[in-house]
Structure 1
C-alpha cells in the first residue's frame, strides 16, 4: 500500500507540472460549442474562416498542451469524411495545405479553421471535434463555394469611349491671380464631369439585371438507397433583382413518352427587401418524400445567392427511377434555366450466413459452400467468391434472381461454391461478395477451422496462383452476373 501511495503522489506532481497554473480550468464540468447554423456561401479562391467556438471562455486561459482539435470534411457528393487539420497537445498536422487554427484564439476557446484559396471541391460539410479530457464535443457546419463573374458587361448604350487629355502650356491674358483661377476652374470642371460619369456608371451597374447561374449536381445520375434519406445540394448564385421562382418537377417513368412531369415545388422569393442577414423562406407547396430547404443570402451590390438542400426519402413502392427537373425563372432570363437529374433507387443485397455441405471435411473430397442473397434491387446482381483476397475460379453456380417480396420488386438468389479443401486452407476466409449497380459490395465469410489428415502420399497441390494474389479474370466474373 505504501508503494501504491508513492506512485499516486508522483503522478499528481507530474500532472500539476503538465497543466501549469491553468490546469484547473481545462477540465470544465461541461462544454458547449457554437458553429454557424446556416450554410456559409464563399467565393472561389477566397480565404475562408469556418467559425467554431466554445461558449463562456472569453475570460479563460486554457492550457492548449492538453487540448485536442480535429477538423473533418465531407464533400457534397460523398459519404466519406476526409481529415483537414489536427492539433494534439501542441503538435499541428495539416492534411490540407494551408489549413490552420490560431493558438492564441484556442487559449480563449476559439478553434475556428482558416483555409486559404478555397476551391470548388472543398465545398460540403465540415465537422469540428474538440477534446478537453475527459470531455469531447463536436458540431458541423456547411460551406458552399461559388464563383464570381470574370468580367462585367455593360449594355452598349452605357459604354463610354475613353479619350486622352493633354494640357498644353498657353499664355493667358491678365494677371497671375486671374490665370490661376482659370486653371483651377478647368480642373474643377473636369472633376465634376468625372464624378458625374462615375455616379451614372454606379447607378446603371446597381440597377442592371443579372441572370442567375444554376450549379448542377456533381453527377447527372443519383443513386438512392431504398427507404433511406439522401440530401442533394445545388446553388443559384450571382443574380439580381431578388425576385426569383424555383420549380421542381418529377417524371416517374422517364423512358415513356406518355409520362407527364409532376410539379413537386413552386417556390418564390419575397421581393427586393434589403437584408443584411441570410433569409430562409417557407415553401408554397410540399410533396411526400421530398423536402426543399432554400437559404437566400445577399452577397454584394444588391446581388443574391441561394443555397438549396433537397432531401429525398426514396421508396421502391413510389418509383424505381425518375427524372428530376430543376427550373429557374427570373426577369433577366428570356427562357427559364433548367437542369435534369436522373434518379435510380437501389436496394443493397443482404447475405445470410454461409452454409457448408459437410461437418467433417476431408482432404481430396469436394465440399460446397452456399450463400443466400436476398432483398436486392435491381434484378441484375454481381456475385463473386474469394479465398482471402484471391478470386476463386472453382465451380461456381448462382441461381436466377427471383422476386420474393410482397410488392414484387425485391429479389433473391442463391450462390454455391464447390472446391477441394487442403491443409494450407486452414484458418483462411472464404468470402462471398454481392453488388448491384450504384451500390457498394456486401459480403459474408466462412472460415475453415478443421480438416482431416492427408493420406501418406502427401497433400494435393493447389491449382492456380501460388502467391494468393487477386485474380482479375473479368470473363469469369461476368459469367456469374444474374440478369
Structure 2
C-alpha cells in the first residue's frame, strides 16, 4: 500500500471503524481531495442563545453518500484533554451534549456544522471537527466564546439625600463617595473608568486618582461581580453642573455603558441647616441615652463562681457581683431548687435596712409543709458588701457559705435573683451544686455464712459489715430464682433517714411518688440495673437486677435483724442475721445477694449465697454430685 499519490486506498481492506480510530489519534491532517474548513476567528455567543459552529466540506462529490461519511465533534479542555460531544457514523447520530444536532440533508450538501441550543458558560472552548469520506479524511478546529452582559448600577450618597440608584443624572448634595457596581458578567475581564465632563468644555477629563476597585467575586453560575469607588472631595475648580461618569467596557457589549451624576456645590444656607439638624439629633440621642440607660442604671449580674466540687457536709463558698446600678434600693434573693422539689427561699438581703436574713423560718415554713417530711433546709450564710464609685454607681460583692448534704443537695440548683426599680422583671443566674463524699472508712463485707444444705422451709444466714466510719448505711437483699430472669428486691434496711431503693412497707410503697423515688436513687449514685456476680456458682455471670418490689410475687418469707455497734477505733460494725423460709420447689438453686451501700463506696458491695434446699437432713447422691459439678 502506498501514499505517494496522496490518496489512501484502504476503504475496502480496512474496516470503516478502524480507519476512523486511526484518524482520531492522528490529529489535524488532510488526505488529497477532502478539505474541512471552520471559522477563522472565534464564534461569539451570549449565554442562552442557540449557536452553530461551522464545519464545511469541499473537494467531494455532492450529494454525499452518508454510508461512507463519518463525523466526530470533540471539545478540548484547558488541560489538553479531548472528549466527544457528537458523532455521526454509519448513518447514525450520537450526542453527548443535550440538544446538539446535525441535519442529514446538510451533511449530504457537505455541511457538517454542529448546532448547540441554549449555550452556557461551560460550553466555551475549542471544538474539533474530524471528517472521514472514505477513503479521504481531514479535520478543522473552531473556537467558541460565551459571554454574559454585565448589569450596572450607580450608587451615590449625599448629605441631602438618602440613596440614589440608576443611570440617569441626579441633583445631589455634598461631594462624597460614588460607587459603580458591575455584576453578573462573563468573562472576568472588564474595564471600568471614571471621567469628568466640565461645564463649557467639550473634552472630558479622566479621573485616575481617588479611584479604587474591589477584587472580582465569582458567583455560583460562573459570572463575576466587581465594584469601583470614586471618592469626591470639595474642590474650588468644580463648577455647578459638572457631570461625572462611570464607563463600563466588556466583551459582551457592542457599545460602552455610561452612568452619570451631577454634584453641585451647596449654598451656605444648606450647610447651616444641615449642621443644625446634626446638633439637634445629637442632643436628642444623648437625652434618650441618659433617660434610658444612665439615669435608670440597670444592674448587671455576673455568673456565680466558687468551689466546683463541695465535700459532703463541709463548708463551701459561692460568690457573684452586681454592678452599674444607680438607685440604691436593691433586693437580693437566694433560692434552692432540689430535684423533684419546689423552689425554696433560703436567704434574702435588702439594701434599705442593710440587714441579712438567715433562713427566715416564717418565710419558708409554709413551703416546707407542702413538701416531703424528709425535706430540710440548706445551711447557708450570705454576706453583701455595697460600695459607691465616683460616677454615682453602686456595686455589690456577694458571697454565700453553704454546708450541703450529699444525699439531698447533690445536683440541686442555687438561684440568685435581683430586684431593682430600673428592672421591669427580676434578673437571675443559677448554678448546680456538685457535692461528693470523701472516701474514708470503707465498709468491709464478709461472706454470707450458713448451712450448705438447707432443710425444706427453714434456714438462717449471717453476714458481718465492719470498719466503716460514717453511720449512714443501707443493706438490700435480692433473690434470683433459676427459671426467673429478674432479680427481686425482697428486703431493705437503712441505718438513718436516707433515700432507700424500696420501701418494704405498704405505706411506703403507696406514699412515695415513683418519679421522685427514681430521682432520689439517681442522686444517691444508684443505677436501675445492678450487677450480680455468681461467685458461689464458680463463674463470672453478671445478672441485671431490676428495681421492682417483688414482695408479693416471690412469696419468700424473709426477716433480717441488724445490730449496729461502735468499736474502740471509732468505726461501726453491723451483725446481720437473715431468716428465710425457702421452698424446695421454687427456691432450690436460687441465688441470694446482699448489697451494701455506703457513702465511702463508689459502687455498692455485693455478696452472694446459693440456696440448696433439700428434704430431710442430708442430700442424696444425685444432689451431692450436682454440687461438685457446680463448684
Q: TM-score, normalised by structure 2?
A: 0.26
Instruction: Compare CA radii of gyration and give the structure with the larger one.
Output: 2
Higher RCO (CA 8 Å, separation ≥ 6 residues): 1
Q: TM-score, normalised by structure 1?
A: 0.32
